[in-house]
Chains A and B, each alone.
Chain A
Amino acid sequence: QVQLVQSGAEVKKPGASVKVSCKASGYAFSSYGITWVRQAPGQGFEWMGRISTSSGNTNYAQKLQDRVIMTTDTSTSTAYMELRSLRFDDTAVYYCAVGWELRSWGQGTLVTVSS
Chain B
Amino acid sequence: EIVLTQSPGTLSLSPGERATLSCRASQSVSSNYLAWYQQKPGQAPRLLVYGASTRATGIPDRFSGSGSGTDFTLTISRLEPEDFAVYYCQQYGSSPRTFGQGTKVEIK
- Which residues on A are within 8 Å of B, measured CB to CB? 35, 44-47, 50, 59, 61-62, 95, 100-108
Contact = CB atoms under 8 A, between A and B. Distances in A.
B44 A47 contact: no
Given A95-B44, A101-B50, A102-B35, A47 B102 contact: no
Given A35-B97, A101-B47, A44 B102 contact: yes
Contacts of A62: 96
A107 B47 CA distance: 14
Interface of B: 33, 35, 37, 44-47, 50-51, 56-57, 88, 90, 92, 95-102
A108 B37 contact: no
A102 B33 CA distance: 12
Q: Chain B's interface: helix, strand, loop or mixed, by majority? A: loop
A106 B97 contact: no
The 4 closest A-B pairs by CB, nearest first: A101-B50, A105-B44, A47-B97, A45-B99
A101 B51 contact: yes
Contacts of B57: 103
Nearest to B51: A101
Contacts of B56: 101, 103
Question: In this complex, which of A50, A61, A101, A105 has the most chain B Cβ atoms within 10 angstroms of its Cβ?
Answer: A101
B31 to A, nearest CB: 10
A50 B95 CA distance: 10
A61 B96 contact: yes
Contact of A47 (B37, B45, B46, B98): B98
A61 B97 CA distance: 9
Contacts of A106: 44
A44 B100 contact: yes
Contacts of A95: 44-45
